[in-house]
Chains A and B, each alone.
Chain A
Amino acid sequence: MKLKDILACVDGKLVCGESHLEDEVTRGFASDLMSDVLTILEDDIILITGLSNNQAIRTAEMSDISNILLVRNKKPSQSMIDMANELNISLSYTAYSLFKASALLYQQGLKPVY
């Protein structure tokens, strides 16, 4: 799925990283626990999380994740946006819950990591 299709699917809004809208995203990983995110070795994944702080961006950087979708209407802070811009990571948010956003995306064909 392209990032723009993912956002359409969950009624998400892109906050920064417009250049990523055409990114092909193969898999999704949903977690609020960053240590679990760090165990993933696959590329081309989108991180779906309710953890709206700088550590979510930092963890994405460490794991080579280029796209983050925040759930439960957690809008990113300016400091998160600045960091994401600097690291070339796209940040979006949706009002949906982690469960609903993940379920809708899975239904649309976004694959799980495992």
Chain B
Amino acid sequence: MAGVAASNLKRLLKQLNIPPLTIKRIIVAVFEAEVNVIAHSYGGRILCDFEEDTIQVQVIDTGPGIPDLDLAMTEGWSTATEEVRELGYGAGMGLPNIQKSCDKLSIYTKAGDHTHLTMLFNLKEDV
């Protein structure tokens, strides 16, 4: 079920005393990415690196990759199935929401390969 990883990460961030607004930004981005992995990929993993001033989260799936990344970044554009839409997602807001929530986003993707999101969050400015 979508949200288990983001939920666990949220608990951890609270324990680390990260400012609430920063937690919200991180969690919204990670949750959307987790939903994407479940909705669109064969599976994947989420890696978090904690530094003093930044948190980097990588979401790496096992395919099948995004054929047209510009389209996927467009608000409202979606290839989600009816099943995903019934869950309240799949409105084409996932990647745009991720971009808005993080300080730096880089995406590697290729059709027939896989997708690798690297999100960077600065910790200092939200204090």
Contacts and interface: CB of A to CB of B under 8 A. Distances in A.
B10 A62 contact: yes
B7 A33 contact: no
Nearest to A53: B87
B91 A33 contact: yes
Given A32-B88, A36-B93, A61 B7 contact: yes
Q: Mostly helix, strand, loop or mixed at chain B's interface?
A: helix
Interface residues of B, number: 22
Interface in B85-123: 86-89, 91, 93-94, 97, 100
B6 interface: yes
A51 interface: yes
A54 B1 contact: yes
Contacts of A64: 20, 24
A38 interface: yes
Interface of B: 1-3, 6-7, 10, 20-21, 24, 27-28, 31-32, 86-89, 91, 93-94, 97, 100
